[in-house]
Amino acid sequence: MTGVPHELSRTERLLRACRGEPVDRPPVWLMRQAGRYLPEYRRAREGIAFLEMCRDVDRAVEVSLQPLTLVGTEAVILFSDIFVPVPAMGVEVDFRPGPVVAEPLRRLDQIERLRVPEPREAVPFVFEILRVLRQELASERVPLLGFAGAPFTLAAYLVEGGGSRHFSALKRMMVRAPEVLRALLDRLTAMVVAYLNAQIEAGAQVVQLFDTWAGILSPQDYRAWALPTHREIAAKLDRDAAPFILYVNDGAHVLDEMLQADADVISVDWRVDLAEAARRAGSHASVQGNLDPCALAAPPDEIARRVREMAETAAPARGHILNLGHGCLPDTPVEGVRAFTDAARTLGPARP
Ligand code: CP3
């Protein structure tokens, strides 16, 4: 095919795919690629609390890099968590293993006390990890991703006090005290904008916003509560320096709304018909996803078949990044992850 450059570096391939420029084949990485499914991660994590590990620059750098050699992923994501910048706002958070908030936020006076900290002062180790990673990756020309939790997803945990099946306290706040939730989302949005821009300045070449829980909303509520935060973040990021990926879990019913956020890439899960997402994204956005992480338990041939199928199905979009629909799970087979990235390397250019 004409116009498709050969021998792209991994950095060029990812950045071009994000921006919808021609590539030799789709880039590949996996959400939660550094985690408990890797024995090497479990070893590095021994005898240290999760949040401590996120603050330990040497260990965080080590586990961020693990998937590169162990499973052949083609991008590195900062090892951290969406809750790392939250304690500096004045909220106590623990991990068991998911985030648990000592005092759930339910009242306006609690929210008015929240600080929007200068991120470089609040969590200097995050930017140190990024700087070291960027230096380590420069000669290999491997791209570095930064990330943040989306305001709605952070608010969901902060209001409930932790994960939840129905998020009924959060949904009650939406109907009984919308001004309280609005105030919380405003502060979180300001925090996320400052945090992601500081990550870009420290060396993140792409940034991803994780809205894991926005999919619990009806399309109307999504437009009222999630979309405005996405649009504000998209508008305020230094997008010339780093393209912006918007991930929404369980968002098959809000695809058009995801596209209205004006992100460079929409990241979709396996409940989304990839053909439909690619068609609607068209020339507006690239698409990332969307294999069910549980499918990585399949034999390598079957994983390779699914990778080819995803690449063909996503071809109508201006760009495609191979990824899962959600993160690797603690029981994800390492061989399955390797089969996934190996299959990506056998692909050619997209043929719409
Ligand atoms: O993708 C990566 O490899 C980078 C690291 C990363 C982690 N969390 C490390 C982590 C990223 C990008 C996240 C994002 C995150 N954290 C999200 C959004 C994405 C998603 O998965 O939906 C959410 C909702 C969280 C909150 C969170 N942190 C939960 C619910 C849990 C427990 C679930 C689990 O996997 O056990 C965590 C803990 C966590 N974050 C772990 C890791 C590697 C496990 C901690 C451990 O080692 O015990």
Q: pLDDT per residue over 136-191, tens digit each?
A: 999 999 999 999 999 999 999 999 999 999 999 999 999 999 999 999 999 999 99
Active site residue 195: no
Q: Mean pLDDT across the chain, nearest whole number?
A: 97
Q: Which is higher by pLDDT, 97 or 229?
A: 229
Atom of ligand 1 nearest to the CA of 208: 12
At 351 the pLDDT is 73
Q: Is 241 a residue whose pLDDT tops 90?
A: yes
Give me the catalytic one of 157, 195, 222, 247: 157
Region 15-35: mean pLDDT is: 97
From the CA of 32, how far away is ligand 1's center (Å)?
7
**Tokens standing for residue 126:** 């995050």
Active site residue 41: no
At 2 the pLDDT is 52
Q: Is 1 a residue whose pLDDT tops 70?
A: no
At 99 the pLDDT is 96
Query: Based on C-alpha coordinates, what's the Rg of the chain?
Result: 19
At 220 the pLDDT is 98
CA distances (Å), origin 135, targets 28, 50, 53, 142, 283: 21, 25, 20, 10, 33
At 350 the pLDDT is 83
- The structure tokens 């200097």 sit at 124
From the CA of 189, how far away is ligand 1's center (Å)?
20
Q: pLDDT per residue over 83-101, tens digit each?
A: 999 999 999 999 998 999 9
Q: Is 237 a residue whose pLDDT tops 70?
A: yes
Core vs surface per residue 227-265: b (16+ CB within 10 A) or e? bbbbebbbeebebeebbbbbbbbbbeebbebbbebebbb
At 7 the pLDDT is 82
Q: pLDDT per residue over 273-282, tens digit each?
A: 999 999 999 9
Pocket test for ligand 1, best of 28, 29, 32, 326 (most atoms within 8 A of CB): 32
Pocket of ligand 1 (CB under 6 A): 31-36, 45, 50, 77, 79-82, 95, 97-99, 147, 153, 163, 210, 212, 249, 327
Active site residue 157: yes
Give me the catalytic one of 37, 41, 81, 269: 81
Q: Measuring from atom 31 of ligand 1, which residue has the nearest CA? A: 98
Question: Do the Cβ atoms of 178 and 111 come closer than 8 Å?
Answer: no
At 4 the pLDDT is 76
Region 123-134: mean pLDDT is: 98
Whether this model's pTM surpasses 0.75: yes
For residue 1, count CB atoms less than 10 angstroms from its CB and return exposed for 0-12, middle for 13-18, buried for 19 or more.
exposed
Q: Is 80 a residue whose pLDDT tops 80?
A: yes
Q: pLDDT per residue over 49-71, tens digit each?
A: 999 999 999 999 999 999 999 99
From the CA of 50, how far away is ligand 1's center (Å)?
10
Active site residue 36: yes
From the CA of 148, how far away is ligand 1's center (Å)?
11
At 230 the pLDDT is 98
Q: pLDDT per residue over 321-332, tens digit each?
A: 999 999 999 999
Give me the catalytic one of 19, 32, 131, 279: 32
At 186 the pLDDT is 98
CA distances (Å), origin 283, targets 117, 145, 242, 255, 278: 37, 23, 19, 15, 9
Q: Is 352 a residue whose pLDDT tops 70?
A: no
Active site residue 45: yes
**Single-letter code of the amino acid located at 97:** P
At 348 the pLDDT is 85
Atom of ligand 1 nearest to the CA of 64: 3
For residue 23, the tally of other CB atoms under 10 A from its CB is 21
Q: Measuring from atom 7 of ligand 1, which residue has the nearest CA? A: 81
